[in-house]
Amino acid sequence: MASPLDQFIIKPIIPIEIAGADLSFTNSALWMAISVAAIYTLVMLGTRQAALVPGRLQSVVELSYEFVASMIRDNAGREGMKYFPIIFSLFMFILFGNMLGMIPGSFTFTSHIIVTFFMAACVFVTVTVIGFMKHGLHFLTLFTPPGAPKAIWPLLVPVEILSYCVRPISLSVRLFCNMLAGLTMMKVFATFAVALGIFGFAPLLIIIALTGLKILVAFLQAYIFTVLTCVYLHDSLHLH
């Protein structure tokens, strides 16, 4: 019987090797490409005719725009709107990755720590660079908590710096864990459903409930990743 973890195996579809490095086009890359194509198609079709009274597709695109825009305004402030394009892309990419991963037989690229960690690391580097560009060396005051007596600074500052540096870890682990756990759980219950014969309807009911939960989690995790990006952006724009 197939292992519940088989769904996460990366298989090369078109093997490519350049200078000893394996650069194959894998199933992970395929589903990333599908997500990008789907997002592009949705946004392009939705904005093709900018009608005053939006049609269905246009409403979807406008809703997602409004959703991300209000998220940035609430969490990063008005100045954050400058970075709307990257945050919108991030949100849509993760959302589509999570949602397309719900299709049976598809591959969920957000269930791989390296994918989520790379995205989190990009956010981390971007936010840090923005902070230094905007405030210069003054940005380092982010690590000196206001109101704390100077005597405990030697203890507080390392903790603050470390807590800044582990942000990409918590950001990526959160998304990856949720996707991995949900998908594995579904496969495990599916195995039960097959093994139990006619009594398999009980795990089947659980799978139905889990599917609903997974759709919620898929959206929620994309939302949390983006909100935290906005919060980090706020920190580097405003310092405390």
Residues in contact with other proteins by CB under 8 A are 67, 158-160, 162-163, 165-167, 169-170, 173-174, 177, 219-220, 223-224, 231
C-beta closer to other proteins: residue 68 or 186: 68
Closest separation in Å from C-beta 29 to other proteins: 27
CB nearer to other proteins: give 10 or 220: 220
Q: Cα separation of 84 and 64, whole Å?
A: 12
The type of residue at 178 is: N
b/e per residue 191-228 (b: at least 16 CB within 10 A): bbbeeeeeebeebeeebeebeeebeebbeebbbbbbbb
Beta strands 21-22 and 17-18 are antiparallel
CB of 78 vs other proteins, minimal distance in Å = 17
Of the pair 177, 188, the CB lying nearest other proteins is at 177
Is 45 or 177 the residue whose CB approaches other proteins more closely? 177
Nearer to other proteins, 153 or 223 (CB): 223
DSSP string, 123-180: HHHHHHHHHHHHHGGGGGGGGS-TT--GGGHHHHHHHHHHHHHTHHHHHHHHHHHHHH
Whole-number minimum distance, CB 163 to other proteins, in Å? 4
CB of 30 to other proteins, least distance (A): 29
Backbone angles phi, psi at 71, to 5 degrees: -60, -45
Rounded Cα distance between 193 and 171, Å, is: 34
User: What's the CA gap between 39 and 43, in Å, rounded?
Assistant: 6
Q: How far is the CB of 14 from other proteins (least distance, A)?
A: 34
Shortest CB 234 distance to other proteins, Å: 10
Residue closer to other proteins by CB (options 165, 205) is: 165
